[in-house]
Amino acid sequence: MRRTILFLTAISALLFTDKSWAQQDIVSQINETGTFENWSVRCVEESDIIGGAVKYLYEFFGSSADTTFTREPLDKPSDYHWRTNNVLANVMGIIKVNCTVFPERRGDGWCARLETHVETVKALGINMDVVCQGALLIGDITEPIRNTKDPMSKVLYGIPFSGRPKALVYDYKAEVGHSTIRGTGFSRLKDMGYPDYPEISIILQKRWEDKDGNVHALRVGTGCEILKSDVDDWINGYRLEVKYGDITSDPDFEPYMDLNNDPDRAFHAINSKGENVQVSEDGWADPGEEPNTLVIKFLASSGQAFYGGVGNKLWLDNVHLEM
């Protein structure tokens, strides 16, 4: 019996060690790419019917040697856990791209610039204006984009993760507060008359799937901030603290930090049946609960899709998890 117990203890220790090492690898990979020192470029020739221009889609992995001339969907490395919302669309055979995240020089190195702008498409004498928000996220976006229906379902926030970070740390500056413009592509641009601000969030969840394929989650950890003032000079090493458990009684709690079940903003996931479903945040986890999913998002706008403060900009550098 003693040998059996020792054997099981040894196996448990090995499994824990393997899990711990795997977790450290993910943290290291997130932190390494968060320096923004390496960028790859996809050069995409848009369809002739909309002008046939060559546009560029940037991701911050690899190097400039990874520049490709392609109309194929992004094939990102397995150790690249980030995704910009620089995307390739193929709508009824028409190739179009959108880029809202750019590499920018910072001293001798590079940083990332996220911006909210209007993307104009001209075809057959018709102008379509779409408001596009800059975003960096942990997760994925499936390409090509085929339509504008249910835009949040196309963004798959989150990766498997069981760690408990203390904070999300980053350097940043920002230009914020531009008036929110609605631009869906199906009507004229409309000024909504209220300001829009960038949003930064780190969220840890414990997700599970029920017998019907619905995906549920408890909120384990939360760090959220909306930037409501311009930041002209770089703030280095800013810490967005992660708070665990139910934070609704925290003195710093704001409604935008609450559980996220708004269909216009809710997270989506692919279930075991291969279906794209909304993640239902059912409640707050106990403070000591172990998460299984990590979400990070940097957004140039905090509104729903196709709404945003055109002109908002968010610069980022040295993004990393503090464990």
| Model pLDDT for residues 139-185, shown as the tens digit of each residue | 999 899 998 889 999 999 999 999 999 999 999 999 999 999 999 98
| Angle subtended at Cα 167 by Cα 32 and Cα 321, rounded to the nearest 5 degrees | 10
Do 29 and 79 contact (CB within 8 A), yes or no? yes
pLDDT at residue 15 in the model: 47
Which residues touch 155 (CB under 8 Å, ≥6 apart)?
Answer: 85, 135, 137, 139, 141, 268
Residue 66 predicted with pLDDT over 80: no
Q: Over the stretch 294-307, which tens digit does the pLDDT of each residue have? A: 999 999 999 899 99
pTM to 2 decimals? 0.91
H/E element, 24:
helix 2-33
pLDDT at residue 11 in the model: 45
Do 178 and 195 contact (CB within 8 A), yes or no? yes
Segment 254-269 mean pLDDT = 96
CATH topology of domain 2-37+100-116+131-322: Jelly Rolls (2.60.120)
Q: Distance between CA 131 and CA 96 in Å, rounded?
A: 15
pLDDT at residue 18 in the model: 56
Segment 55-71 mean pLDDT = 88
pLDDT at residue 317 in the model: 99
What is each CA distance from 15 to 26, 58, 60, in whole angstroms? Answer: 17, 38, 32
Strands 243-244 and 268-270, sheet pairing: unpaired
